[in-house]
Structure 1
Amino acid sequence: MLAAMPPTSPTPVNRDEAPLRAAVRKSVRERGDACPGALRLHAADDGRLARLRLPAGLLTPRQAEVVADAAERLGDGHLDLTSRGNVQLRGLGGSCGAELAERLYEAGLLPSETHERVRNIVASPLAGLDELPSADVQLWARELDGLLCASARAAALSGRFLFALDDGRGDVAALGADVTLLARRDGSAVVRTGANRSGLRVTPEDAPRAALLAAETFLTLAEASGSGAWRVRELPAEPGRRLEAAVRAGLTDAGIATESVAEATSRDPVGESPLPGPVMSPDGTVALSVHARLGRLSVTQWRLLATAANGPLRVTPWRGVIVPGVAPVAADGVLDRLRTAGLITGPGSRWHGVGACTGRPGCAKALADVRSDAAAAVSRGSGGLPVYWSGCARRCGHPQGRWVDVVATGEGRYDISVRGDARPITTTGPEPELELEPEPEPELELADAVAAARTTPLTR
């Protein structure tokens, strides 16, 4: 029996601020950036891992097949979708690096060997595919990717540095990016750095170049500080305060006209990911929003998505895929096939909103097989806050916003809390263990504790 105390009075906390930022500022990072890529493979417990950067999450059908073939022939036959709209291959052999690189290069997925890890660009995945008027963030993404790869300076960016290109709906603007381009109703764009609500208005034609210059300005301040900062939020206090002014000066020097915007916000509620299901497109076709269970796809599932698309797939930062260009008469049948194949095709699925890191046995740092535990807990309820299962306190890949944080502390033991909650739920394991309270709460199985946390009312 596992015991738990329900969460009380959750208070939202921005992970990109406060404790993490303060902690990083107290130390100087001395080790290099070991973030994996397509050429720098990570040695995991289940084999080598490759992370393929996909600016704006775009993959042509041919590229999608190349990735599927690589996963099948060189890896474990699966693809992991990341929280940045990228794809990971796991279980790779120790000697397959050259062959993998050749396959990716021939498919146009490796345009620069020196910049392949810094091409972290997310974009609003439904831009142009629904009825919301939107900026062409896909064009921004292509231009920014080309500028990044052509900039010798940009090669020094960390593999963790993130660009977000938001068409104005506020989805990717809420992902805690280092540089954000936010489209505005008047046709202009605002470039923001880090968690700043303010920004600099520029023309849409100048937006990609402004984003690159903002990143290069960050590099200059980070190097001058000697902190080894990889992300904007890691800058020491003084250069962090000077960043926006330095970006404006750099844009002015580059001939880009700017105007300060006190609070650059989107026109719609922020942070909302595309729900799974059909989306009517302006051209009369249907785009299908499909999510992967725990962010993991078999090559069979992946190929079903690719063959259904009439145009490039769009991998989303919420571990989903947008399948564009489906004929309306065929949409229901395609969704049925994808659902039968084990994909999430509607918001009513018990798997919707449930995520997990790799956990055991793939990760040496994990304290539990979180994917198996998460799958076992899915049957006890659905809906409510997103929930993310982490194998250790690093919480790799966890979502932004409010979410239920399930962190392994040992085999069969988890701490559960609503993000920002002052008092976690503690689950233990196989022996009952209740926290001492004036009125003890009933004992809860792990799955029941997670379900209760997802539906806990938020109070102020």
Structure 2
Amino acid sequence: MSGRVRGWCPDAWHPMAAGDGLLLRLRPPLAHLTPDQLRTIADVAGLYGNGQIDLTSRAALQLRGLRERDGADARDRLVAAGLVDADPRREARVVLVAPAWRPGDDTHRLAIGLRDSLDALPALPGKVGIAIDAGDAAVLHDTSADFRIERGESGGLILRADGRPRGTPLSPGAELDALVALARWFSASGGAAAGRMARHRAPLPDWAAGREAPARATLAVVQGAHPLGTMIGTAFGRVDADRLLRLPGLRGVRLTPWRALLLVGVAPDDARALFHDPALLRVDACVGAPACPQASVATRALAARLAPHVAGRLHVSGCAKGCARAAPADVVLTGRDGRFDLAHHARAGAPPHRTALSADDLPALFEGPFRAP
């Protein structure tokens, strides 16, 4: 079965049917969970679903296996805990926040202000996102977002349209007004037809024409010590809430778009049992068959076996949609009609170098003398 690309993203108000039940996605404010909120998520996942909690590549959490009759009750508990907006239109907005924010800094200030300004935004395509990345260095540069507030090379903040190498400088206090104005221009100039800013070819308005480059980007720590505590990777995004809640010193959990969690207040030695083999953290794999009706192949066991034998990024996708990773990977395996297509330096569904490989073919191919070009 080939993947059918949907034009919308599931959320708590609009869960999506999957092979293992409903999939409910939530985006906690500021990408931050208190321990009590994490416990609520674990309780909801276990009571109404199959207990599985996944972290996505856009810093959202997914609860799987919910029954149709329980979707509203699950959502209401999440709304009561402050994890889901009571307004479905506001909950649908995709906002990414650099996870290392501290109270009162620019990222925190703008993220709070944006939540108060969501109603001023126009209607936007479902996958359009906003990144608030206002630390000293950009960390969300490789994350899918359409409008970015980030640090410019001069030290001030800039607003940058995705796909454009430069942004426009922002006046202190006027950052969100400029963001709303650019979003309204996108809508008025036909951006909905393109779907995403990077594909929208209309010339930017003069005031938004980029003239300043972003500040240097930095690689995010995905496992190890962090100034706020400890960063841990998650294999395929799977979150074990019960183990996290038993960690000493846990004051909060920040969600990241790298399928890693920032454990606020936790010392690295106390979290070391949760560290993963680095090879496994270079792998993206969707849930695959049979949990997803779009997938024709199982994915994660194969991905874990192949991971040590792929030097770069490995993406194993159950179908051509490529839900686990939007960006290219060094090696991508795409499920098609129960077998795999193999491509290099490509996205899922790209024209393959080899086709119709079985899951039994692949370990020998990668563990033997073959190497990706």
Question: TM-score band (shorter)?
Answer: 0.7 to 0.9
8 Å CA contact 1:381, 1:451 repeated in 2? no
Per-residue deviation, 1:374? 1.0
Equivalent residue, structure 2, for 1:452: 371
In structure 1, C-alpha distance between the alignment counterparts of 2:131 and 2:44, rounded to whole Å: 28
Equivalent residue, structure 1, for 2:231: 289
In structure 1, C-alpha distance between the alignment counterparts of 2:10 and 2:360, rounded to whole Å: 40
Letter in 2 for 1:143: G
Equivalent residue, structure 2, for 1:203: 171
In structure 2, C-alpha distance between the alignment counterparts of 1:425 and 1:449, rounded to whole Å: 16
| 2:191 aligned with 1:230 | no
Equivalent residue, structure 2, for 1:215: 183
8 Å CA contact 2:158, 2:212 repeated in 1? no
Alignment TM-score, normalising by the size of structure 2: 0.86
1:80 aligns to what SS in structure 2?
Answer: strand
Equivalent residue, structure 1, for 2:150: 182
Equivalent residue, structure 2, for 1:63: 37
Residue identity (%)? 27
Per-residue deviation, 1:195? 0.5
Q: Summarize the Cα distance change of 1:211–1:403 in structure 2 as closer, same or farther, 3 Å threshold.
A: farther
Please list the CA deviations of residues 296-330 of structure 1 after superposition, one character each: whole Å capped at 9, or x if unmatched: 1234345346x6422x311000111101123xxx5
Equivalent residue, structure 2, for 1:424: 353
| 2:214 aligned with 1:265 | yes
Letter in 2 for 1:416: A
Alignment TM-score, normalising by the size of structure 1: 0.71
Per-residue deviation, 1:228? 3.4
Per-residue deviation, 1:198? 2.1
Please list the CA deviations of residues 120-177 of structure 1 after superposition, one character each: whole Å capped at 9, or x if unmatched: 1112223459xxxx963122112112211x33x53x2233111112224232123242
**Aligned pair count?**
366
Equivalent residue, structure 2, for 1:413: 340
Equivalent residue, structure 2, for 1:146: 116
In structure 1, C-alpha distance between the alignment counterparts of 2:90 and 2:36, rounded to whole Å: 20
Q: Summarize the Cα distance change of 1:431–1:296 in structure 2 as closer, same or farther, 3 Å threshold.
A: closer
Which of 275, 282, 285 is 1:356 aligned to?
Answer: 285
Per-residue deviation, 1:370? 0.8
Q: Summarize the Cα distance change of 1:268–1:450 in structure 2 as closer, same or farther, 3 Å threshold.
A: farther
1:314 aligns to what SS in structure 2?
Answer: strand
| 2:132 aligned with 1:165 | yes
Trace 1:293-442 onto structure 2 (pairs within 5 A).
293-304=235-246, 308-310=249-251, 312-326=252-266, 330-332=267-269, 334-339=270-275, 344=276, 349-378=278-307, 380-381=308-309, 384-400=311-327, 403-419=330-346, 424-426=353-355, 428-429=357-358
In structure 1, C-alpha distance between the alignment counterparts of 2:241 and 2:136, rounded to whole Å: 34
Letter in 1 for 2:304: A
Per-residue deviation, 1:58? 1.6
Equivalent residue, structure 2, for 1:83: 57
8 Å CA contact 1:173, 1:182 repeated in 2? no
Per-residue deviation, 1:288? 0.6
| 2:70 aligned with 1:121 | no
1:175 aligns to what SS in structure 2?
Answer: coil
In structure 2, C-alpha distance between the alignment counterparts of 1:331 and 1:366, rounded to whole Å: 37
| 2:16 aligned with 1:51 | no
Q: Summarize the Cα distance change of 1:408–1:200 in structure 2 as closer, same or farther, 3 Å threshold.
A: same
Please list the CA deviations of residues 252-295 of structure 1 after superposition, one character each: whole Å capped at 9, or x if unmatched: xxxxxxxx6424222235xx33231112x2xxxx5211111111
| 2:82 aligned with 1:100 | no
Trace 1:240-251 onto structure 2 (pairs within 5 A).
240-241=202-203, 243-245=204-206, 248=208
Please list the CA deviations of residues 217-255 of structure 1 after superposition, one character each: whole Å capped at 9, or x if unmatched: 2122227xxx634321343x3xx22x343x64xxxxxxx
Per-residue deviation, 1:90? 0.7
In structure 1, C-alpha distance between the alignment counterparts of 2:336 and 2:369, rounded to whole Å: 15
8 Å CA contact 2:23, 2:66 repeated in 1? yes
8 Å CA contact 1:37, 1:51 repeated in 2? yes
8 Å CA contact 1:176, 1:195 repeated in 2? no
8 Å CA contact 1:292, 1:319 repeated in 2? yes
Per-residue deviation, 1:402? 5.1
In structure 1, C-alpha distance between the alignment counterparts of 2:369 and 2:61, rounded to whole Å: 28
Letter in 1 for 2:214: T
Q: Summarize the Cα distance change of 1:204–1:361 in structure 2 as closer, same or farther, 3 Å threshold.
A: farther
In structure 2, C-alpha distance between the alignment counterparts of 1:452 and 1:302, rounded to whole Å: 38
In structure 2, C-alpha distance between the alignment counterparts of 1:69 and 1:216, rounded to whole Å: 39
Q: Summarize the Cα distance change of 1:428–1:58 in structure 2 as closer, same or farther, 3 Å threshold.
A: same
Per-residue deviation, 1:92? 0.3
2:322 aligns to what SS in structure 1?
Answer: coil
Which of 67, 74, 88 is 2:48 aligned to?
Answer: 74
In structure 2, C-alpha distance between the alignment counterparts of 1:403 and 1:117, rounded to whole Å: 34
